[in-house]
Chains A and B, each alone.
Chain A
Amino acid sequence: KQEVTQIPAALSVPEGENLVLNCSFTDSAIYNLQWFRQDPGKGLTSLLLIQSSQREQTSGRLNASLDKSSGRSTLYIAASQPGDSATYLCAVSGSEKLVFGKGTKLTVNP
């Protein structure tokens, strides 16, 4: 059974800092990995999707990497801003079902 773990559970940083969120999964047989953002009381916004054949994806200040063999992914956020404050969820797809981690709650302080 696939299990996804996200570390840390919460993170507080000053504005402008570069930061890394970690995601690990137990079964490397995946089709892809998605990073989502969730604001309080809102749904999930897809940030980046990495196919299993890819090593990384970039969108603006976000960069996600995937090491399928070791079961790890990282989400790098450059020059963090208060507007980046949200919960970030990692999810892996081994079939049509996404298996999520519990998320990392990020707070960026002005």
Chain B
Amino acid sequence: QKEVEQNSGPLSVPEGAIASLNCTYSDRGSQSFFWYRQYSGKSPELIMFIYSNGDKEDGRFTAQLNKASQYVSLLIRDSQPSDSATYLCAAPNQAGTALIFGKGTTLSVSS
């Protein structure tokens, strides 16, 4: 059974700092990873996905994938209070038919 693990937090950072969110996965064969953001009372929204080792940047967000160490991270630069949310890491299941979600890390950015 594939597993996706995240530290539930809360992770607290001051406004303007870099927030680093981490995720580990159990299946070495996993090829793709997804980061979703979920505000309280709302449904998840896709932030980024990454398939290749290394970094992928999109605005203030950078996803980092290290397949050898089986971790994927999300960096948020210049954190804003509006970034306060729960961040979910996900990877496809064995059959590739659904996503397995981690429990999510709650980020709190203080002004």
Asked if A pairs with B, the answer is no
Interface residues of chain B, those whose CB is within 8 Å of chain A, are none
